[in-house]
Amino acid sequence: MKTHVNGQAAARTAAPTAQAQRLADLRFMVLDAVTYSPYATADEKARTAASVARCQDETTLLKWYANVLTVISDRELAPPVFATTEQKQEIIKLLNYPAVSRPTKTKVLRGINCLTETQAVDLIAQLTAVAFPEPTPPTRPAGAGLVVNRRGQLAVAALLSYASRAVSRGGVATSYGQAA
């Protein structure tokens, strides 16, 4: 009789463990289908991850998984949205800048009719960065004077060529003015 009672206790503890494992497996299947699909948006992936973690119902997860597969397969079978004429014209204008290399021009022009809208937006951003590079912060050219703050006065060193001549003669030429 004692073995029978222990068997019932083991069965009661095994049931929740098996259900928890099924829930974990279903959560994984839903997350896997959404996360690794190229047809799901970043927002959908984030919302799915948050919602799946809270879901405790096995039938809801099963329905969710079936719906996810249906939506993703519908998106996969939908015809692609190709780049618009305006996007293609913008790409061609950007390709005409001298900063764009010949192999890049050839590669892009050969595949311009196969670009999707998102690929065209990315390509326009890349070509804009190549054609119009960000300006670098100005650097002090050789021979420019330095401005140094000393006890309320501005000391402006002479041009480097003049300063080097002054140093060779035994002194450094500086001019002082009142600080504003």
For 48-81, what is each residue's pLDDT tens digit? 989 998 988 899 999 999 999 999 988 888 888 8
How many other β-carbons are positioned within 10 Å of the β-carbon of residue 23? 16
E strand or H helix at 171: none
Q: Please tell me whether residues 101 and 61 are part of one structural domain.
A: no
Map residue 100 onto helix, strand or coil: coil
Strands (E), 13-146: none
Does the residue 140 lie in any domain? no
Does the residue 138 lie in any domain? no
Asked whether the predicted pLDDT for residue 92 surpasses 90, the reply is yes
Which domain range does residue 153 map to?
Answer: 147-178
Which pTM value belongs to this model? 0.42
What pLDDT digit, counting tens, does each position of 18-44 carry? 888 998 999 999 999 999 988 888 899
**Residues 6+ away with beta carbon under 8 Å from 62:** 26
Q: Please tell me whether residues 71 and 93 are part of one structural domain.
A: no
Q: Which residue has the tokens 């519908």?
A: 74
Does the residue 151 lie in any domain? yes
